[in-house]
């Protein structure tokens, strides 16, 4: 039985997952409304809120799983990347929970969690597979041959896809979080009304990295809004949202298809908060149907930040014994060991 904590950004999360991948509980306390007034996450506020919530969320996860703390066999926690203050709350709490009973502790890379979220029950994906991870802070395409690691085939060179959605929503005056707001409004617009750029740097030649860039589409939206003027931009806002969303999804879908071609795989998994986007899920389903690729698109609760995916990764990693992990520290930057190094 694995008890996992995730506090990398503004959601306080705890989950109980079995070694076989059964999710017994997955509790998320969101701070979305708290940060909405600021138009984005305020790190200091997020850290303080984690301190207030982490014990209650952990207790809730154990209660929903019908598991006593004495039955937990290992503790897992997000070590990074993320907001350093927020991460420290989770790491400190996990170390305390594990050390109190001398349990082993598994530090998990947040991105690894997204890459293996689809290995959880009831329909776990089997390696090898291609995984597209798109979130507010990170976007990359990886090959997963063993769930203990992944190999990055390409990644964003600037803004992450989720960050591009948030910045676009701010330009369109849609509030925070921006991704869901653009997704809702896009249903009312024409995605072909505006031609925004799709940046795929480096080309798709054999051996080239499958990178993408989203800073150009964001700048293009800014200039188009200025050209239209306030009144016309307001009138055509649904078309702007739909066209902007289509440009971002086109880039993600194009690189995903290239990755499937190059690697010769027929299994595809989605991960990260942007995997909840209805346009991206629709395009992934189309890709699956036309190419005969098996698709794993996790339920929405496993796309956004959650602790179940951290437990999913912890099942395949070597735990640190007590008291070795007492000196463990959080890291704001992604860990890139040899097993997860870029191609």
pLDDT of residue 341: 41
Q: Are strands 267-271 and 294-296 parallel, antiparallel or unpaired?
A: parallel
Q: Assess whether the region 2-115+303-340 and the region 125-297 belong to the same CATH fold.
A: yes
pTM over 0.85: yes
pLDDT of residue 335: 67
pLDDT of residue 39: 81
Q: Where are the domains of the chain?
A: 2-115+303-340, 125-297
pLDDT of residue 203: 59
pLDDT of residue 14: 98
pLDDT of residue 38: 83
Superfamily of domain 125-297: ATPase, nucleotide binding domain (3.30.420.40)
Print burial letters for 1-25: b (CB count within 10 Å at least 16), e (below 16).
Answer: bbbbbbbbbbbbbbbbbbeebebbb
What CATH code is assigned to 2-115+303-340?
3.30.420.40
Positions of the chain with pLDDT lower than 70, given as ranges: 203-207, 335-343
Nearest to 99 by CA among 77, 78, 75, 79: 75
The alpha carbon of 275 is separated from its chain's Cα centroid by a whole number of angstroms, namely 8
């Amino acid at each position: 039985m694995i008890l996992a904590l995730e506090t990398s950004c503004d959601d306080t999360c705890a989950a109980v997952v079995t070694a076989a991948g059964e999710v017994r509980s997955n509790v998320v306390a969101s701070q979305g409304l708290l940060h909405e007034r600021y138009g984005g996450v305020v790190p200091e506020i997020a850290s303080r809120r984690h301190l207030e919530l982490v014990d209650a969320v952990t207790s809730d996860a154990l209660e929903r799983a019908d598991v006593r703390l004495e039955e937990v066999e290992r503790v897992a926690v997000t070590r990074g990347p993320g907001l350093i203050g927020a991460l420290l709350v989770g790491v400190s709490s996990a170390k305390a929970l594990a050390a109190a009973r001398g349990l082993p502790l598994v530090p998990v890379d947040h991105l690894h969690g997204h890459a293996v979220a689809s290995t959880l029950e009831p329909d776990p994906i089997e390696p090898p597979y291609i995984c597209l991870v798109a979130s507010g802070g990170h976007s990359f395409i990886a090959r997963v041959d063993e769930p203990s690691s992944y190999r990055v085939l390409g990644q964003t060179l600037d803004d992450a896809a989720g960050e591009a959605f948030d910045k676009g929503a701010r330009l369109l005056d849609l509030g925070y979080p921006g991704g869901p707001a653009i997704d809702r409004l896009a249903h009312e617009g024409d995605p072909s009304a505006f031609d925004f750029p799709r940046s795929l740097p480096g080309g798709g030649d054999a051996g080239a990295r499958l990178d993408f860039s989203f800073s150009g589409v964001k700048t293009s939206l800014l200039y188009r809004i200025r050209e239209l003027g306030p009144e016309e931009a307001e009138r055509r806002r649904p078309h702007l949202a739909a066209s902007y969303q289509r440009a971002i999804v086109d880039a993600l879908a194009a690189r995903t298809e290239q990755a499937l071609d190059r690697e010769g795989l027929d299994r595809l998994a989605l991960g990260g908060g942007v995997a909840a986007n209805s346009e991206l899920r629709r395009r992934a389903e189309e890709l699956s149907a036309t190419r005969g690729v098996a698709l794993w698109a996790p339920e929405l609760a496993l796309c956004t930040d959650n602790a179940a995916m951290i437990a999913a990764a912890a099942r395949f990693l070597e735990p640190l014994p007590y008291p070795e992990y007492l000196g463990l520290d959080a890291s704001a930057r992604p860990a890139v060991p040899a097993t997860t190094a870029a191609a």
